[in-house]
Chains A and B, each alone.
Chain A
């Protein structure tokens, strides 16, 4: 994770960002600290911290930094120049942690765990708004695994992790309208128990959830239906207010990157 010391809305690169709607620094810090404490204290997760840097406000969204598999780290090739500035910091940090750093050819845009999520040994790969379709072949070659590219269809859900969240080997949260009919078919074939969320819940970024064992951390204020669906499957829910980060088009999952 990365502390939101320099977090602000400095540019507009997705439909959620608006320079007119600034993030409140104090609120953002409180919300982030609550998430950090929940993960480390209650859920007993080990969290490594990335040193914040001025001028790269989106560094807090560490999920987009890359994809860690074993001791290999595949660094992102950001689409927007504003975020490409994060790349050297990520690289330095990852190397210091002892990962083997891999970068994809520059022509392939790839935004890390934002667009690549594991589901039962298969990597689901979202493309169009941020990552490029051909990058999936590079990932498959590097990871010796099946990588299924799915095209994202709704600009508001510009990363795969904004509309899809694997919960365990069987279940995943998803917002079907964020995919086209081919993508929906692929996900329905891959996920045994897909839980679709309503548009209202999707807009609250509930699909941007973190699963730690049977615990799910997600934005609060979701519908009763969703609560019941998750409770039935014996998940314990940890709602949090992360509204300051939604102003930049991110929520719980965007703020963390899985290292193991």
Chain B
């Protein structure tokens, strides 16, 4: 979707110039939004209109703008984005532009350039030689980097509204537990198939509750069937998954019986210790010590995973990245190409991932607690659906809908 803001002024109402402009935009298959319209009070006073013109492609927009220029509507003259040098490593210049997760462009040397790897709450750096603009987290700034300052010359495009009813549009309203889930899951399954057909990746962010509730085997089936391309989780999730694979329990509770095992409280610590002894999850799979579970499926199916650490971790497992900034970067590397993110029963990791995703990525947040789902929606995840549900029933339905 290409757009440009144009301005037209003069005696544009009585001369029907404005209605004509609007008609012409529609005739040329564009759309418009009137940003400002001030009508002259007397016959001799000029009126002013500012419109945002949108078209499906830059070429079409060009055609429309060319036609509008003949009617006296000219693009609002814009200056290049202002650039300033980063004063020191890890610090933006004071007036830096803080990004949103929406598709963003910056104007540099008279041309609009798409900002690569857009992510919210970052800055934009421009390579002065090549003109390439990319999103840059604060921690990555190097002294002397050219950083975009103020919002002048920065253009943020709202997400395209599709005319086809879609699952993500269908559920774009507020989070509620009172929604028909079966229908929703059917449509989600169709969307997942479509995403895979397009060659995009599906990202799963999972919390330990996925294992506690006994839905690990469903997630395992999704991985084996090729519906998961990246997994983000924490130490807890991996630990309980391995614990269940080694002892059949999760936090000491038998997953098949629902009863506590004698001395089961230390199973998770023994699981961590075993894996640490072997040197890692991958090693455990290779030596056939770990023969089932989600982590096993990931290693076998070569699905990359990022385990990010936190202050309450036990152990942790050798694969857990305990430096949070390094963990962020590791997660960031897997973001390009993601078309859908499934966030399952996780607060910390779901929000961390939500912050890294561009708004164009569709997200599904499943949690038993409505507050978590709402919190993620409030982070500005635009194409998100929130499902207030137990993960076990959700995943069971999803696996069923995908005929796995």
Contacts and interface: CB of A to CB of B under 8 A. Distances in A.
A148 B74 contact: no
A133, A140, A182, A185 pick with most chain B CB within 10 angstroms: A133
A133 B72 contact: yes
B10 interface: yes
A32 B17 CA distance: 38
A149 B72 contact: yes
A7 to B, nearest CB: 32
Interface string A115-152: 00000000000011000111011001100111111110
Contact of A136 (B11, B44, B70): B11
Contact of B9 (A127, A137, A145): A137
Interface in B1-20: 9-11, 14-17, 19-20
Contact of A147 (B11, B70, B71, B74): B11
B38 to A, nearest CB: 14
Contacts of B44: 140, 144-146
Contacts of B74: 134
A40 to B, nearest CB: 36
B46 interface: yes
B43 interface: yes
A149 B11 contact: yes
B70 A128 contact: yes
A132 B72 contact: yes
A146 B17 contact: no
A133 B46 contact: no
A180 B17 CA distance: 11
A147 B43 CA distance: 9
A186 B10 CA distance: 15
Interface centre among A127, A136, A185, A189 (most CB of B within 10 A): A136
A127 B72 CA distance: 10
B68 to A, nearest CB: 10
A140 B70 CA distance: 19
A124 to B, nearest CB: 9
Contacts of A150: 15
B15 A134 contact: no
A133 B17 contact: yes
A185 B16 contact: yes
A141 B46 CA distance: 8
B19 A147 contact: no
A140 B11 contact: yes
Interface string A195-232: 00000000000000000000000000000000000000
Grouping DSSP codes into helix (H, G, I), strand (E, B) and loop, the A interface class, with mixed when no group exceeds half, is: mixed
Nearest to B46: A137
Interface string B16-51: 110110000000000000000000000110100000
Interface in A149-180: 149-151, 180
A182 B16 contact: yes
B10 A137 contact: yes
Contact of A134 (B19, B20, B43, B72): B72
Contacts of A144: 44
A136 B10 contact: yes
Contact of B17 (A141, A145, A149): A149
B19 A149 contact: no
A144 B42 CA distance: 11
Nearest to B74: A134
Nearest to B43: A146
A146 B70 contact: no
Most buried by A among B15, B20, B71: B15
B140 to A, nearest CB: 45
Nearest to A124: B15
B28 to A, nearest CB: 15
A127 B43 CA distance: 20
Nearest to A184: B16
A141 B10 CA distance: 9
A182 B13 CA distance: 11
B70 A134 contact: no
A183 B17 CA distance: 9
A219 B43 CA distance: 36
B19 A182 contact: yes
A128 to B, nearest CB: 6
A182 B20 contact: yes
Contacts of B17: 133, 149, 182
Contacts of A185: 16
A147 B10 contact: yes
Contacts of A186: 14-16
Nearest to A132: B72
Given A137-B10, A140-B10, A148 B15 contact: yes
Interface in B89-140: none
Contact of A133 (B14, B43, B71): B71
Nearest to A122: B43
B48 to A, nearest CB: 10
A166 B43 CA distance: 21
A127 B10 CA distance: 14
B69 to A, nearest CB: 9
Nearest to A144: B44
23 contacts: A128-B70, A132-B72, A133-B10, A133-B17, A134-B10, A136-B11, A136-B15, A136-B72, A137-B72, A140-B10, A145-B44, A147-B11, A148-B11, A148-B15, A149-B17, A150-B15, A182-B15, A182-B16, A182-B17, A182-B19, A182-B20, A185-B16, A186-B14
Interface of B: 9-11, 14-17, 19-20, 43-44, 46, 70-72, 74
Interface of A: 127-128, 132-134, 136-137, 140-141, 144-151, 180, 182-183, 185-186, 189
Given A150-B15, A182-B15, 9 more contacts: A133-B17, A134-B10, A137-B72, A144-B44, A151-B70, A182-B19, A182-B20, A183-B16, A185-B16
